[in-house]
Amino acid sequence: MRRTTFLSGLATAALLASAATVPTAAAAAPGVSGDAFTRAVAQLKAHSGAGLVADGQTFTLRNVVTDPDGAEHVRLNRYSDGLPVLGGDVVVHLGKGSTWHGASQSLAAAPQRAPKAKLSKAAAGRAALAASTATGRVVAGAQLVHDADDTGTTLAYEVVVAGVYADGTPSELHVVVDASTGAVRDKWEGVVAEGTGNTYHSGSVPLGSVLSGGTYQLTDTARGGAKTYDLNGGTSGTGALVTSTSNVFGDGTLGNRQTTAADAAYGAATTWDYFKNTHGRNGIRNDGVAAYSRVHYGTKYVNAFWSDSCFCMTYGDGDLSQGWEPLTSLDIAGHEMTHGITSNTAGLRYSGEAGGLNEATSDIFGTLVEFHANNPKDPGDYLIGIEVKTNGVPLRYMDKPSKDGRSVDCWSSSVGRLDVHYSSGVGNHFFYLLAVGSGSSSYGNSPTCDGSTVTGIGNAKAGAIWYRALTRYMTSRTNYAGARTATLSAAADLYGAGSVEYNTVAAAWSAVNVK
């Protein structure tokens, strides 16, 4: 493999989006131990008296995380009478020798059997189509599921409606339709784009490439074989793999179409390195395989998005006349790829409080990717997307989320009804308090909801706690109260119950009104 340098910068950015679909009926992840699965299910069933398993339920393996001391965290999908149970996912914690260390799930008790229902699949499809605002919408799939929450279990269809939004963003809307009444119970986007902007650069950076047939391909074999493609204005497929005869990609100006490709490749590499070096994670699925990136999507497309279905990242060029540069900034790249990681770990549903936590997770790790890069052209900050906007106004603020005019600083019982990009404010504010602390600093000025004072523990510890909570303890319907519990468990594992770090997690949640 050769390495090359692209000169200069570019802008990019926007904020992005992404998406996380709730895994249903997923096959077991490759490369994990079937033994762990068998042992976890045996332990779970042995403890069914604790309300963890009901009659007629089976499980498949989603993934296993093993700690250095040998403890295993085995994430399982649940089925009832052969149908997937939405919200029924569970993580079994095993100590050395497969001893029982409890389980984490979103629900207070095991979901029960749902009564039969009679709505036809076609009727459910019609109800789902009516719930989408995309154009060209078609039913791309529908399956019967058990939709579970703390109030009970309902037989439903999970319908996926494909289409395209007015700004060119593709849509894969998941709609849960009650199989008795035809009512829409919930819906969430599988491809979410948020917005935005432009920005700039990361200067001259090394990129992995491969010499093939006399030209250098923008393929990073050191990081899972990550490839970068030029869609050349297209909106489907992969377009053309970016190549260069000189092994130099881009020139730092938008007049050279490889400049944004270099930004995208750098964002993918930096995000890969952050998760590998900091958390030991080997790619988005932790299987060593890279997602690919696509640039020059559509025309003046002001957004970027992650899609689970293509396992790829896509960037628009933005629209300079509207103040948006290409959406390829580091924090956007990190934000988007984190949606892929969330989808492959906790699977936080992209609606309600779980959706806010999903967005906060992407803002948190997008920010930490930016800090990790330590690039003088784009120093770390807690301002989301500022790099990509010509007016210098970020899309979101972590120190005081309400500064954007729409996000919330403090939890309340109505938070789950907000758009997920605004309910994320509670999680972002928590993280800022945990890492930096309350009051004024060089990074911002963060209030607390109860007038308390919080002393931060730094990005490294705060990030380790959030990552461990995401990968070991959160599940598809974790809410803010559950996130408090999950992060306290993570802090206890890493630093000890009652440690300064543990107590700061508690204090930071209390300071955002999650008590």
Query: What whole-number distance in Å separates Cα of residue 416 and Cα of residue 478?
Result: 12
17 binds Zn ion (CB under 5 A): yes
228 binds Zn ion (CB under 5 A): no
The answer to whether 60 and 26 have CB atoms below 8 angstroms apart is: yes
The answer to whether 421 and 468 have CB atoms below 8 angstroms apart is: no
271 binds Zn ion (CB under 5 A): no
Nearest distance in Å: CB 360, Zn ion:
10
Nearest distance in Å: CB 192, Zn ion:
6
Among 18, 132, 260, 475, binds Zn ion (CB under 5 A): 18
The answer to whether 474 and 483 have CB atoms below 8 angstroms apart is: yes
C-beta closer to Zn ion: residue 362 or 475: 362
Query: What whole-number distance in Å separates Cα of residue 107 and Cα of residue 478?
Result: 9
Instruction: Look up residue 48 and give its DSSP letter.
Output: G
The answer to whether 509 and 486 have CB atoms below 8 angstroms apart is: no
Q: Which of residues 351-410 bind Zn ion (CB under 5 A)?
A: 362
C-beta closer to Zn ion: residue 306 or 473: 306
Active site residue ranges: 336, 421
Stretch that binds Zn ion, among 18-26, 253-261, 276-284, 476-484 (CB under 5 A): 18-26
Count of residues that bind Zn ion according to CB under 5 A: 3
Residue nearest to Zn ion according to CB distances in the complex: 17
Q: Which residues pair with 207 in a beta bridge?
A: 4
Q: Which two tokens stand for residue 142?
A: 């529908």
C-beta closer to Zn ion: residue 18 or 260: 18
Non-local (6+) Cβ contacts of 9 within 8 A are 200, 201, 202, 203, 204, 252, 259, 263, 377
C-beta closer to Zn ion: residue 17 or 160: 17
Nearest distance in Å: CB 338, Zn ion:
8
The answer to whether 145 and 116 have CB atoms below 8 angstroms apart is: no
Nearest distance in Å: CB 222, Zn ion:
27
Q: Which two tokens stand for residue 382?
A: 């807690």
Residue 206, Cβ neighbours under 10 Å: how many? 11
**CA-angle at 339, arms to 334 and 345, nearest 5°:** 120
Nearest distance in Å: CB 367, Zn ion:
13
The answer to whether 333 and 275 have CB atoms below 8 angstroms apart is: no
Helix (H) or strand (E) holding 481: helix 480-495
C-beta closer to Zn ion: residue 407 or 489: 407
C-beta closer to Zn ion: residue 362 or 446: 362
What is the binding site for Zn ion (CB under 5 A)? 17-18, 362
